[in-house]
Amino acid sequence: MRSKVGLLFLLLWLTSCEQFRFRKKDERLEALNAMEQTDADFSAFAVRKGYRAAFLEYLDAGGTLLRPGRLPIIGAAAVDFINNIKDSTLRLSWEPQGGDMAVSGDLGYTYGIYTMNEGNTETQGTYVTIWRKQKDGKWKYVLDSGNPGIAASRKDTSSGYQ
């Protein structure tokens, strides 16, 4: 009788562990979808309201910007940097291509292709943004970086160096 009770207990325990694993996986996927949607919303906001308004709206208080030819710009300095951008002739949009989420569901990244129009000049490049979930459930970026220039084929997502 003891062995049957022990076996029953073991089966119940294994079942509960499996359910917990699936629940955590579902929570992680939900967080990943929310973060990726935030990245798409961030781009739409930039198109509607401009670069400056969007980058200030989605910036985490301690967020960092990595920009070509500059040291990392962190926190209040990032806010100052964004505020000094003249964006009346600048239009920036991007297309998220993918990302991933930590098992904890509160930190992840997105990446994709951006297009910047300034006057008659259009440039494209790639970007990566690291996101952190805030206490209120919203996502803010803690690091944003872009690289100008992309290969002729925008859909080439190979992982090798050329």
CATH of the domain at 106: 3.10.450.50
| pLDDT tens digits, 136-149 | 999 999 999 999 88
The answer to whether residue 160 is domain-embedded is: no
Based on the structure, what is the number of domains in the chain?
A: 1
The answer to whether residue 158 is domain-embedded is: no
Q: How confident is the model at residue 104 (pLDDT cuts 50, 70, 90)?
A: very high
Supply the range of the domain harboring residue 45: 2-148
List, in order, residues 6 or more apart from 85 with CB less than 8 Å away: 51, 52
The answer to whether residue 118 is domain-embedded is: yes
SS3 label, residue 74:
strand
List, in order, residues 6 or more apart from 114 with CB less than 8 Å away: 92, 93, 94, 95, 124, 125, 126, 127, 146
The answer to whether residue 153 is domain-embedded is: no
In this prediction, residue 159 carries a pLDDT of 45
In DSSP terms, which residues pair with 146 in a beta bridge?
127
In this prediction, residue 150 carries a pLDDT of 79
As a whole number of angstroms, the distance between CA 96 and CA 110 comes to: 7
| pLDDT tens digits, 51-75 | 999 999 999 999 999 998 999 999 9
In DSSP terms, which residues pair with 38 in a beta bridge?
none
- Cα distance from N-terminal residue to C-terminal residue, the chain: 67
* Residue 37 pLDDT > 80: yes
Please give the distance of CA 129 from its chain centroid, rounded to a whole number. 4
The answer to whether residue 157 is domain-embedded is: no
In DSSP terms, which residues pair with 130 in a beta bridge?
109, 143
